[in-house]
Amino acid sequence: MPENLTQAPVDRVTMYGAAWCGDCRRSKALLDRVRADYEYIDLEADPTQADRAHAISGRTQIPVVVFPDGTHFVEPTDPELQAKLDALNA
Taking all residues of the chain, what is their mean pLDDT, rounded to a whole number? 89
**Are 88 and 69 contacting, i.e. CB atoms less than 8 angstroms apart?**
yes
pLDDT digits (tens, 9 = 90+) for 35-54: 999 999 999 999 999 999 99
Alpha helices in 1-90 (DSSP H): 22-33, 49-57, 78-89
pLDDT at 10: 55
